[in-house]
Amino acid sequence: MKIAPTRIIRYIVLILPFLMFFLFPVYWMVITAIKTSDKWFTWPPTFIPWPFTLDSFLGSGEVYRTASLREVVPFLINSIGISLMTSVLTITLATFTAYSISRFKTGGMRFLSWILSMRMLPPIAVGVPIYVIFYHFGILNTWLALILVYTVFTSSFGVWVLVSFFNDIPRELDEAAYIDGCTLFQAFTKIVLPISLPGIVAVFIISFTLSWGEFLLALLLTYDKAAQTIPVFIGRYITGFQIAWGPIAATGLVAMLPVTILTFIALRYLISGLTLGAVRG
């Protein structure tokens, strides 16, 4: 084969610098999470975590004095609860709107562009006035505060993904239902919704991952474990002094795994959503 040399060069260029650069940080987190506590701070650094331990996850052994996952549980519950409820609210708002836009072009270009632009809003610019308003309503540091702001971003995303999804469902289906005497609401819930399940699941997943990873608004609008989420816990911990590397790496791993897996499941829809449909995955 004539092309063999370029192919080998390609591999070397790809694998050595780039795979190292993109994967080493993840490898470092994984090994730090399972290192024994005497290996956290060594020179040269320890790259092979042997013997390994689960102390950092369980909070047992030497680690118990520093921190453990047990401390993380309230924040984990907040993250799960807030992300789930954001996703539910997002789907409720986005499906109806997307259906109306897909079938009747409700509001036209202006309305659709307005919804899309909501996703681009700078979180800090939303956070400043919302902080003052929620302060006066007394809902700072509650799940509700975060669910409401997150839904601004996720529902914009959801409408986009669902409009293109509904566009692919033949109109004849719901038109047949109208002729049989269904109202708009019935045609939507009984005919269109059931066959749109994949799209709805994708929007659910994307909303979940977006709210799970959000940092800035959670930092502004919450201040203790009544409502603070995992990213804020990690942020507060890592910027403090005397950081125990093992437990924080273990926490990071727990915070990362669910969303990394979910993102890959919904990747196809995520591409189309992220690029506002410029690319269909």
Partner 1 sequence: MRGRLLFVLPLIFFYLSITIYPFLYMIYISFFEYNLAAGGVLKFLGVENYVKVFYDPVARGSIFFTSFITVMGIIVETLLGLLLALLVIGVKGERVMRLCFLIPMTIPMAVSGMIWRMLFNTTFGPINYFLSLFGISRISWTGDPFFAPLTILIVDIWQGTPFVFLILYAGLKSIPPVYIEAAMVDGADEWKLTRYIRLPMLRDLIMVVVLLKSIDLLKLFDSVYMITGGGPGTTTYTFSYLIYQVGFITGINLGYASSLSVILLIVIMLLTTTLIRILNVRRLLGR
Residues of span 125-144 touching partner 1 by CB under 8 A: 125-126, 128-133, 135
- Which one of 80, 152, 169, 182 is in contact with partner 1 (CB under 8 A)? 152
60 binds partner 1, rule: CB under 8 A: no
112 binds partner 1 (CB under 8 A): yes
Rule CB under 8 A: choose which of 67, 91, 162, 163 binds partner 1. 163
Both tokens of residue 15? 């694998």
Q: Is 13 in the site for partner 1 (CB under 8 A)?
A: yes
CA distance 269 to 204: 11
Neighbours of 223 (CB within 10 A): 12
Peptide bond into 44 cis (omega under 30): yes
- Quick check: 190 binds partner 1 (CB under 8 A)? no
> Contact at 8 Å (CB) between 238 and 219?
no
DSSP 42: -
Which tokens sit at 113? 């562009």
Is there binding between residue 77 and partner 1 (CB under 8 A)?
A: no
State which residue, 104 or 197, has the beta carbon closest to partner 1: 104
Verify binding: residue 81, partner 1, rule CB under 8 A.
Answer: no
- Residue 212 touching partner 1 (CB under 8 A): yes
- Contact between 192 and partner 1 by CB under 8 A: the answer reads no
The binder of partner 1 chosen from 159, 200, 205, 244 (CB under 8 A)? 159
- Total residues at interface with partner 1 (CB under 8 A): 110
Q: Please identify which residue in 1, 4, 120, 179 interacts with partner 1, judged by CB under 8 A.
A: 120
* Under 8 Å between Cβ of 188 and 103: no
Applying CB under 8 A, does 45 fall inside the site for partner 1? Answer: yes
- Select from 57-65, 67-75, 199-207, 248-256 the region that touches partner 1 (CB under 8 A): 248-256
Tally of CB atoms within 10 A around 30: 16
- C-alpha span between 26 and 32 (Å, rounded): 10
Residue 94 interacting with partner 1 (CB under 8 A):
yes
User: Token pair 């995955």 is at which residue?
Assistant: 281
Contact flag: residue 200 with partner 1 (CB under 8 A): no
Tell me the window of 48-56, 67-75, 124-132, 199-207 that interacts with partner 1 (CB under 8 A): 124-132
> Which has the closest alpha carbon to 174: 193, 200, 199, 197?
193
Q: Does residue 256 bind partner 1 (CB under 8 A)?
A: yes
Q: How many CB atoms lie within 10 A of CB 58?
A: 14
Q: How many CA atoms lie within 13 A of 125 on its CB side?
A: 5
